[in-house]
Amino acid sequence: MINIKDKEIKELLNEMTIDEKIGQMVQVAGDIFLEDDINVSTGPLKNLELSEEKLYNVGSILNVIGAERVKKIQDKYLSKNRLKIPLLFMDDIINGYKIAFPIPIAQGCSWNLEVLRNIAKISAMESNIAGANVNFSPMVDLSRDARWGRVMESVGGEDPYLGKVYAKATVKAYQGEDISRLGNIASCVKHIAAYGAVEAGRDYNTVDMSEREFRQYYLPAYKEAIENGAEMLMTSFNILNGVPATVNKWLIQDLLRKELKFKGVIISDYGAIEETIAHGFSKNEEYAALNAIKAGVDIDMMSKIYANYLKKWCLEDKEIENKVNESVLRILNLKNKLGLFENPYSNADVEKEKRYIMNKTNLEKAKKLTQETFVLLKNKDNVLPLNNNSKIALIGPYADNIAITGSWSMFSDKTKNSTILDVVKNKVGNENVLYSKGTEILRCEEINKILKVENMQTISIDNEPLKEKEAIEKAKEVAEKSDIIILLLGEHYKQSGEACSRSNIGLPENQVNLINELYKLNKKMVMVLFNGRPIQLNNVENKLDAILEVWFPGTTGAEAITEVLFGDVNPSGKLTMSFPQNVGQCPIYYNHYSTGRPHNSDFKYLSRYQDIETESFYPFGYGLSYCKFIYSNLQISKSKMRKDESILVGVDVENKSQYEGYEIIEMYIQDLYASVVRPVKELKGFQKVFFKPFEKKKIEFEINSEMLKFWNNDLKYVVESGEFKVFIGSSSKDTLEEKFEFID
Ligand code: BGC
**pLDDT digits over 617-650, tens only?**
999 999 999 999 999 999 999 999 999 999 999 9
331: pLDDT confidence band, cut at 50, 70 and 90? very high
416: pLDDT confidence band, cut at 50, 70 and 90? confident
Bridge partners (DSSP) listed for residue 696: 654
Q: What are phi and psi of 540, to 5 degrees?
A: -130, -20
Bridge partners (DSSP) listed for residue 669: 682, 726
Chain-centre distance of CA 27, in angstroms?
Answer: 23
The Cα 580–Cα 639 span in angstroms is 36
Identify whether 652 is a catalytic site residue: no
Best probe residue, ligand 1, of 498, 500, 501 (max atoms within 8 Å of C-beta): 498
Q: Which tens digit of pLDDT belongs to each residue from 337-363? A: 999 999 999 999 999 999 999 999 999
| Closest C-alpha residue for ligand 1 atom 10 | 136
* Mean pLDDT, range 248-265, rounded to an integer: 98
Contact 120, 97 (CB under 8 A): no
Is the pLDDT at 283 greater than 80, yes or no? yes
Best probe residue, ligand 1, of 27, 136, 143 (max atoms within 8 Å of C-beta): 136
Cα of 68 vs centre of ligand 1, distance in Å, is: 24
Pairing of strands 232-235, 265-267: parallel
CA distances from residue 205 to 15, 144, 148, 495 in whole angstroms, order as listed = 42, 15, 10, 18
Please state the atom number of ligand 1 nearest to the C-alpha of residue 153.
9
Is the pLDDT at 43 greater than 70, yes or no? no
Of the candidates 537, 574, 530, the one whose C-alpha atom is nearest the C-alpha of residue 551 is 530
Q: What is the 3-state secondary structure (H, E, C) of 224-257?
A: HHHHCCCCEEEECCCEECCEEHHHCHHHHHHHHH
Cα of 742 vs centre of ligand 1, distance in Å, is: 44
**SS3 assignment, position 598:** coil
Cα of 31 vs centre of ligand 1, distance in Å, is: 17
Best probe residue, ligand 1, of 269, 408, 496 (max atoms within 8 Å of C-beta): 269
Of the listed ranges 33-47, 218-232, 347-361, 415-429, the one predicted with least confidence: 33-47
Chain-centre distance of CA 453, in angstroms?
Answer: 24
Q: What is the pLDDT of residue 1?
A: 45
Chain-centre distance of CA 646, in angstroms?
Answer: 34
Residue 698, classified by CB atoms within 10 Å of its CB into exposed (0-12), middle (13-18) or buried (19+), is exposed
The Cα 201–Cα 620 span in angstroms is 19
Residue 3 or 235, more confident: 235
Selected catalytic residue, list 269, 298, 300, 671: 269
44: pLDDT confidence band, cut at 50, 70 and 90? low
Please state the atom number of ligand 1 nearest to the C-alpha of residue 63.
12
Name the DSSP class of 170. H
Q: In what order do the strands lie in the sheet with 546-549?
A: 375-379, 546-549, 524-530, 484-490, 392-395, 433-436
The Cα 119–Cα 96 span in angstroms is 7
* Mean pLDDT, range 241-247, rounded to an integer: 98
Q: Which tens digit of pLDDT belongs to each residue from 592-613? A: 999 999 998 889 999 999 999 9
Name the DSSP class of 471. H
Q: Which tens digit of pLDDT belongs to each residue from 419-472? A: 999 999 999 999 999 999 999 999 999 999 999 999 898 887 766 667 899 999
Residue 308 or 37, more confident: 308
Is the pLDDT at 2 greater than 60, yes or no? no
* Mean pLDDT, range 524-538, rounded to an integer: 98
Q: What is the pLDDT of residue 127?
A: 98
The Cα 499–Cα 453 span in angstroms is 11
Question: Angle at the Cα of 677 (from 584 to 208), degrees rounded to 5?
Answer: 55
| Closest C-alpha residue for ligand 1 atom 2 | 269
| Closest C-alpha residue for ligand 1 atom 6 | 270
**SS3 assignment, position 121:** helix
Cα of 63 vs centre of ligand 1, distance in Å, is: 10
CA distances from residue 542 to 150, 516, 525, 550 in whole angstroms, order as listed = 28, 10, 10, 19
The Cα 599–Cα 245 span in angstroms is 37
Is the pLDDT at 3 greater than 90, yes or no? no
Please state the pTM of the whole predicted model. Answer: 0.97
The Cα 92–Cα 531 span in angstroms is 20
Spell out the alpha helix ranges (H) of 493-618.
509-519, 557-565
Chain-centre distance of CA 503, in angstroms?
Answer: 20
CA distances from residue 618 to 159, 441, 615 in whole angstroms, order as listed = 15, 24, 9
The Cα 17–Cα 323 span in angstroms is 15
Mean pLDDT over the full length of the chain = 96
Cα of 45 vs centre of ligand 1, distance in Å, is: 19
Question: Angle at the Cα of 402 (from 400 to 403), degrees rounded to 5?
Answer: 120
Helix axes 318-337 and 6-15, enclosed angle (nearest 10)? 130
**SS3 assignment, position 6:** helix
Pairing of strands 717-718, 232-235: unpaired
| Closest C-alpha residue for ligand 1 atom 5 | 270
Percent share of the chain, pLDDT over 90: 92
Q: What are phi and psi of 341, to 5 degrees?
A: -70, -35
Q: Which tens digit of pLDDT belongs to each residue from 366-386? A: 999 999 999 999 999 999 999
**Torsion angle of C-alpha atoms 88, 89, 95, 100, degrees rounded to 10:** -150
Best probe residue, ligand 1, of 89, 270, 273, 301 (max atoms within 8 Å of C-beta): 270
Cα of 269 vs centre of ligand 1, distance in Å, is: 6
| Closest C-alpha residue for ligand 1 atom 4 | 270
CA distances from residue 74 to 33, 70, 126, 432 in whole angstroms, order as listed = 9, 6, 19, 54
Residues with CB under 6 A from ligand 1: 62-63, 92, 136, 190, 269-270, 498
Cα of 232 vs centre of ligand 1, distance in Å, is: 14
Q: Which tens digit of pLDDT belongs to each residue from 168-211? A: 999 999 999 999 999 999 999 999 999 999 999 999 999 999 99
Pairing of strands 265-267, 239-240: unpaired
Contact 249, 294 (CB under 8 A): yes
Pairing of strands 134-135, 186-192: parallel
The Cα 651–Cα 295 span in angstroms is 50
The Cα 645–Cα 671 span in angstroms is 17
CA distances from residue 175 to 168, 263, 338, 610 in whole angstroms, order as listed = 11, 16, 10, 51
Q: What are phi and psi of 669, to 5 degrees?
A: -130, 145
Q: What is the pLDDT of residue 623?
A: 98
Q: What is the pLDDT of residue 636?
A: 98
CA distances from residue 507 to 70, 190, 244, 412 in whole angstroms, order as listed = 41, 29, 34, 26
Please state the atom number of ligand 1 nearest to the C-alpha of residue 191.
9
